[in-house]
Amino acid sequence: MRSTAAVLLALLAGACAGGQGDDVFPFPVSVFELDNGLKVVAVEYDSPGIVAYYTVVRAGSRNEVEPGFSGYAHFFEHMMFRGTERYSTDAYNAVIKRMGADSNAFTTNDWTAYHFVASADALETIMEIESDRFLNLQYTEEDFRTEAGAILGEYNLNFSNPVALLQERLRARAFRFHPYGHTTLGLLEDIQAMPDNYDYSLEFYDRYYRPNNSIIVVVGDVDPVELQRLAEQYYGAWEPGDYEPLIPVEPPQTRPRSDSVTWPNPTLPFLMIGYHSPAFSDQTIDMPALDVLSQLLFGETAPLYRQLYLEEQVVDVLSGGALDSRDGGLFSIIARITDPGRIDYVRDAIIAGIDRFKAEPVDAQVLAATKSHMRYQFALGLDNPGGVARTLAHYLQLTADPETVNRVYRLYDAVTPDDIQHVAVTYFPETNRTDVTLTQAAPDADGEEAGQ
């Protein structure tokens, strides 16, 4: 096996040369599946003595389809640290401390991840304690109520930032049916009701924390044969499930939508714009073309960015793009505006910047340089086992196929000026747009800031 440094140098050289025809993910991958449907992916990566270990659960806020029960995917990220009969919370944490492992978890719209970076000789210990909590999680109703209170505290902390309110309102306006209409944290009224929904929490766990809905990714100093033996030993008894959520389909938006919110404390105004975007696919060009377009619009060398941020200085934050998502999501744009009187000007300038890509093909050399830069940035993220595992896990949660990462980057390489023009016309009509502004609340009659 070539050293990681040699592999990355070759990949970076390919990025600078355009990367045509080369696999963007250059490391050997082994895949096997247990009889219960658990998929295990091993990546041999030159990191002597170190492994990264990800458990991917293909459930996020997208799976919260019943009204009144948002926030439970994120809730389970918390509850998975509550312990089992064999390993209490304290015992679990003591094992991690003895290993000297870096351990954490996160929840998104589409998936939940539990991850370690640790010594390679601790792999069996990791698999023992992880399999135990995935197969044997236990928590009392009192534990549940305690954690529900902690989640309410996290919600309140998160919403001390005006951007959280802005994002929540944009989603609520842009989506009428799909659960992408609420954030991963969930709706406040649902979080407040959580303490009374212990039985539903057990149902959520029973539905989604199943081997056929999960993928294990191990990157680094790992022997795939030994990994398979350990997986069969520790995860073989995990029983599969058959629950399939009925995810509502969001109908096409047929007219522009707008909203505004106020913030009780001093703040510069914010503008957030969302356009419905397609679901992730490694077979069609639209999502890669939109990713490239986001760089052409909001990259540091983009004309629109130079105009608003560098030259006119009417914004001090400007970014945009679409996240890869299992179902159609949003291409979201956010700007913080330095002059409260120029919100409309900034909105009009952003729309005009998008419209230029509808009317005029992008310069071929600019497009080639942008794609090369994106590939280069991707390669730079593959310089440690954790980064490799996080990247591969992201694509696995979308398709469950490790080859997806190479297929989608072949699509990036294939994006043409015509493709950029096509997605600009297709996904950025006025009827597909939702925008929300956030401004500081005006003082009330007593001189206090009015609430929203």
> Which residue has tokens 């497009």?
367
Q: Mean pLDDT throughout 412-420? A: 97
For helices 286-298 and 343-359, give the axis angle rounded to 10 degrees: 130
pLDDT band of 22, cuts 50, 70, 90: confident
Identical fold between 34-235 and 257-440: yes
**Cα–Cα dist 31/216, whole Å:** 10
- Residue spans per domain, the chain: 34-235, 257-440
For the chain, the average pLDDT equals 93
Q: Summarize pLDDT for 138-169 with one digit per residue, the tens.
A: 999 999 999 999 999 999 999 999 999 999 99
User: pLDDT at residue 18 above 70?
Assistant: no
Listed in order, strand segments (DSSP E) in 131-256 are 214-220
**Cα–Cα dist 435/167, whole Å:** 10
What pLDDT score was predicted for residue 402? 96
**Cα–Cα dist 354/373, whole Å:** 21
Domain boundaries 34-235, CATH class: alpha beta
User: pLDDT at residue 201 above 90?
Assistant: yes
User: pLDDT at residue 451 above 80?
Assistant: no
Q: Summarize pLDDT for 368-383 with one digit per residue, the tens.
A: 999 999 999 999 999 9
User: pLDDT at residue 452 above 50?
Assistant: no
Q: Mean pLDDT throughout 315-329? A: 97
Q: Mean pLDDT throughout 20-30? A: 85
User: pLDDT at residue 116 above 50?
Assistant: yes
User: Mapping DSSP to helix (H, G, I), strand (E, B) and coil, where does residue 126 land?
Assistant: helix
- For domain 257-440, the CATH architecture is 2-Layer Sandwich (3.30)
What pLDDT score was predicted for residue 442? 81
**Cα–Cα dist 239/26, whole Å:** 34
